[in-house]
Amino acid sequence: MLKLWRWYQNCLSVNPVKTQIISSGLIWGIGDIAAQAVTHSTALKKKNPLSISKEDQDFRIKWKRVATTSLFGMAFVGPVGHFWYEGLDRLRLQYQPKSIRFVATKVALDGLIFGPVDLLVFFTYMGFATGKNVNQVKEDVKRDFLPALLVEGGIWPIVQVANFRFVPVKDQLLYVNLFCLLDSCFLSWLEQQQNAAWKKHFFKSYVSLRELHARSN
């Protein structure tokens, strides 16, 4: 394990962007395989055990989807994440490094800018990559964006506080990518749920709250 870490650090020193691109692609691909496994298992539990055939029981990886998701990690998360974290660290010119204000500002910017953009690009890309038209992609984004944003909004700030406080800048994307293994699994699973009943209920509840808030004002 130590040798692998040293090898990674060497690759990061020699070709930082290329290393981030490849590692991000691998992690997002693995996350999608995990998401497919979760979706398959969930679907089996919903069916009557007597009606499940051996063909239904067998888990088959959709490699085209894995490649599509992996490409998102390589084309967006890797290069954009690399320059994003390097750019955020320039805040050290205005704030004392590792200070509460320094970390809080980085967490806030990451949550308000990179997080929403990352989700928007992911759902838009996945929609077009699967052959959907503009209107279908808009509906998918409307359906999936808010649930994902709220769930991740309660998790990522905690993850990023530790990241910006203790992890060297050159390793911050790797740290994020390790959590992205779970995040990519979650996003892929969420996207695969299509028009699940819980999504419709979530969206209706949100619309009702907005209407109630508008009336009160």
What letters, b where the CB count within 10 A reaches 16 and e where it falls short, cover 199-215?
Answer: beeeeeeeeeeeeeeee
pLDDT digits (tens, 9 = 90+) for 151-180: 888 888 999 999 999 998 888 888 887 887
Count CB-CB contacts under 10 A for residue 73: 27
| Residue at 134: amino acid letter | V
d(CA 120, CA 153) in angstroms, rounded, equals 14
pTM of the full structure: 0.80
pLDDT score at 215? 60
Query: Chunked in runs of 10, what are the mean pLDDT values of the chain (217 residues)?
Result: 87 92 91 83 72 75 92 94 91 85 93 92 92 92 84 87 90 82 70 60 58 58
Closest C-alpha to 190, from 151, 155, 159: 151
State how far the Cα of 66 lies from the Cα of 77, in Å rounded to an integer. 15
pLDDT at 50: 62
Closest CA to 108 of 158, 163, 151, 157: 157
Positive or negative, the Cα torsion across 127, 142, 73, 87?
positive
Residue 4 tokens, joined: 């692998």
Q: Are 102 and 80 in contact (CB under 8 A)?
A: no
3-state secondary structure of 99: coil
